[in-house]
Amino acid sequence: MAKQVVAIDGHRIVSVYNRTKEKAYTFANIYQSRVYDTALEAIKDPEVNGVYIATTNETHFSFIQLCLEHHKPVLCEKPITGNAKEFKKILDLNEDSNTFLCEAMWTWFNPVSYQVKKWVEEKQIGKIRHVECRFCVPLIGRKKIERHVKINKYGGALLDLGVYCVRYMYELFGKPNKITSKGKLFQGVDIRNKSIFSYENFDAVVVSGFNSIPVDYCIIKGDLGTIKVPLFHTANKAILRNKNGRVVYKNLEPKFSYQFLQVSEDIINGNKESLISWNSSLEVLKIMDAIRQQINVIYPCD
């Protein structure tokens, strides 16, 4: 991410905070940045025009709060908070702060995602009949997976990987009418989950996990064709097949750049929201809350 940001004209990483100061210095030496002892000092650096939060899930709420209290625009990694209740508190706080706030869901700053949405809305594959969206990475057994499987760090496959699937379904089809979920737990967090999102005329299968072979795709089947998106969360292409043949839409540009270009433009123009709206972040959190309730994953923030 950092490499792509500094490659954009006019963008610099001027201020860095990390709970491990040695890591902060290692990072800052690469990007000629200043290192601070506290997050507050880093946020208050006078050259900072916006703050990017890329810390573990359980810290998002407090760091966002700190940014908003000091009127610093903030882009926070997904999931923006641990649950919908936390995010509602953030929105209440921002009524007074009136500061730019956005969830860093780079998938939906990507032109490939919007091409897929356009094809769906244009009914290029007719009526939707079935959807599958899967994102699995074999993390179990690897070193340094603590944040993924600790309940106090809001770990689990859903918030780490499944959030991309849930967001994709939400952006394309809105809120499901019904959610049916099951999961496999380890130390209280989900290492695999599977949900059926029931819409008016079709079901969407949504799967994420830490304990399977690598899987990353979205397939949308209609009565007149199919859309396939390999590596959907960071896609370079989408494939449409219908009665007119096969069309491949490609975009090979660095994907983080779209997100940061849009957010910087929003901040310059005085916008308070971006392509990922506050309401959409809230709705996606509500969906994930419902899934977690069914599979019995309970975080301290709940």
Q: What are the pLDDT digits (tens) for 111-157? A: 999 999 999 999 999 999 999 999 999 987 665 677 889 999 999 99
pLDDT at 212: 83
Question: Which pair of structure tokens corresponds to residue 213?
Answer: 């072979």
pLDDT at 199: 98
pLDDT at 291: 98
What mean pLDDT value characterizes the chain?
96
Spatial distance between the Cα atoms of 144 and 241, rounded to a whole number of angstroms: 41
Mark the ranges of the chain whose per-residue pLDDT is less than 50: none
pLDDT tens digit sequence for 150-186: 999 999 999 999 999 999 999 999 999 999 999 999 9
pTM: 0.96
Question: CATH for 2-106+258-282, among 3.40.50.720, 3.40.50.300, 3.40.140.10, 2.30.30.240?
Answer: 3.40.50.720
Residue-range domain boundaries for the chain: 2-106+258-282, 107-249
pLDDT at 151: 96
User: Do the two domains 2-106+258-282 and 107-249 of this chain adopt the same fold?
Assistant: no
Of 60, 203, 84, 72, nearest to 133 by C-alpha is 203
Question: CATH for 107-249, among 3.60.15.10, 3.50.50.60, 3.40.50.880, 3.30.360.10?
Answer: 3.30.360.10
Q: Quick one: DSSP state of residue 160?
A: I
Check: CB of residue 163 under 8 Å from CB of residue 200. no
pLDDT at 147: 84
Backbone angles phi, psi at 170, to 5 degrees: -65, -45
Spatial distance between the Cα atoms of 127 and 14, rounded to a whole number of angstroms: 49
